Structure 1
């Protein structure tokens, strides 16, 4: 199958391309420069560097013509801050361009579409009492993105949205999202304080298997909650500590109210700088301190995801973060950093 991808040089896109190529598919991609130094981009991928958002419909159409598959592995996440209302920024990068791309894909008779979304959309469905979309602009944008994308599904086009959780693994030259947590742990000299709760997680390799599995197996319009390894924050932090060389450092669990109180300083700083965040941090405390776990059966049975070494994937992420913070490695970040 010939597959067109937006974001083929990113952490998830490049791993997805490798998996697709390994399975016998051909992949072409448009990606924003620069390519991270040392990034292991599959040489078999046909790559064009540029900003797809600045390309005309006809330029995109030329890229999609003859393709049976399309993967959207781009956009921005909740770390992005900007002028209020921040939802407009998420709409600009996550929804509007995808709607245009899906419209062109349908014109080009693309049959299989995979979109990389967020597991917050899953928890918005399963925990309506949290009012996630109503409270957090980023989560609202992911829910709206998902609804829009699935509206394109019909007998001629299969659409899969992967609701991705926390992901571990690295791409040389690209800054991991976990750098902020390494900095936090280092700033707490005597012990590490963190809230109760926990999360589901996967490795980069497993995300790649989700992408390929959805391209090959999804029928109709479906969202797939992605989760494989469920850990409490304390369990995860023990692995962080191990790879940071501080395995005996004590972890103290703080109550929800204390975490929420600490988030007030983030909100205060945002207001001072006239910026808005994708997550309303004080209200987000109830999510952060919950066990946001997802069973692995769906992605195993429907997408063919296999076990991986989550301990090693976390370790690789931690090591790269340390090298970047200590000036041993150069890395590029994400939009807005």
Structure 2
């Protein structure tokens, strides 16, 4: 696969912008679409099949790099709203892609689906509507018959212009403050936007239909927060937060949501089990992430 044309939905975002760069570096043409920027103005969540076919015309590949805020509380039940925003657009997109002769696609997913396969006893899809929708995205998107690779992403560091990880702002303010830094037990896999983009283009070029976990390093929460503080110019020790405190705080958050008749895609009542676990992906690439952490949190 060389010199082909790919539509990147969310091409002005953090990951999408890097995907566009890698495509062009490898000699491919990239067309972008997004709600507020891009070659085409298009909200994939509400776009019709006809609108999707129009922007896919002449394309050989498609990458969906839009994002979903799984933490935002919504009126109960949250699942129908998440399915409408996450799953139904994917179904329409890949049906349109097949009709236009698109030969490969990539979805940006979550490493929660990796852990759902690895640890079925965690019952992630049952407990968290967001994880359920991620699994349905992959299954129903592939049903159209186009090879679709799903990149299962952990925390992603980096920047593209003024685009930063959506969770970077609160952590940046905390790291620069005079408040103590604390972290629970457990940890997470991490990667960079550039490495995600390279994995996406690799998948397009090979017409992969695999679930592909992407991870460069596994860090404890204390290690990650410590590196962020150093990048922000306020290096200091990170104190251990007792697991019991984490469980109590998240149970309280779940109770508040229930009292307000709201839900989020990741249920706070069951989130402690994730935060206190080692959300580590194996194998990791071993590629360094420090430069991308500095891009995300250094003084701007």
TM-score, normalization by structure 2 = 0.91
Give me the whole-angstrom Cα distance separating, in 2, the residues matched to 1:255 and 1:143. Answer: 32
Matched, 1:76 2:68: yes
Query: Paired residue for 1:135?
Result: 127
Matching residue within 5, 9, 26 for 1:6: 9
Matching residue within 216, 231, 234 for 2:219: 231
Q: Could you list the runs of 5+ residues in structure 1 that have no partner in the other structure? A: 36-45, 301-306, 324-337
Q: Is the 8 A contact 2:48 2:92 kept in 1?
A: no
Matched, 1:258 2:245: yes
Change in CA separation of 1:98 and 1:92 when aligned onto 2, cut-off 3 Å: same
Q: Could you list the runs of 5+ residues in structure 2 that have no partner in the other structure? A: none
Q: Is the 8 A contact 2:176 2:234 kept in 1?
A: no
Matching residue within 141, 145, 153 for 2:137: 145
Map Cα deviations across residues 263-286 of structure 1 (whole Å, 9 max, x no partner): 234234434544211111231111
Aligned pairs for 1:126-275 (under 5 A) are 126-153=118-145, 157-174=146-163, 176=165, 177-185=167-175, 189=179, 191-219=180-208, 221-247=209-235, 249-275=236-262
Query: Paired residue for 2:56?
Result: 64
Query: Paired residue for 1:94?
Result: 86
- Count of matched residue pairs: 296
Query: Paired residue for 1:19?
Result: 22
Give me the whole-angstrom Cα distance separating, in 2, the residues matched to 1:181 and 1:265. Answer: 22
**1:187 Cα offset (Å):** 6.3
Map Cα deviations across residues 156-180 of structure 1 (whole Å, 9 max, x no partner): x322111111100113333531222
TM-score, normalization by structure 1 = 0.81
Q: Is the 8 A contact 2:233 2:298 kept in 1?
A: no
Change in CA separation of 1:151 and 1:58 when aligned onto 2, cut-off 3 Å: closer
Matching residue within 106, 126, 138 for 1:114: 106
Give me the whole-angstrom Cα distance separating, in 2, the residues matched to 1:208 and 1:99. Answer: 23
Give me the whole-angstrom Cα distance separating, in 2, the residues matched to 1:185 and 1:22. Answer: 35
Query: Paired residue for 2:264?
Result: 277
Change in CA separation of 1:56 and 1:281 when aligned onto 2, cut-off 3 Å: closer
Give me the whole-angstrom Cα distance separating, in 2, the residues matched to 1:252 and 1:47. Answer: 47
**1:184 Cα offset (Å):** 4.4
Give me the whole-angstrom Cα distance separating, in 1, the residues matched to 2:173 and 2:77. Answer: 29
**1:104 Cα offset (Å):** 0.9
**1:91 Cα offset (Å):** 0.8
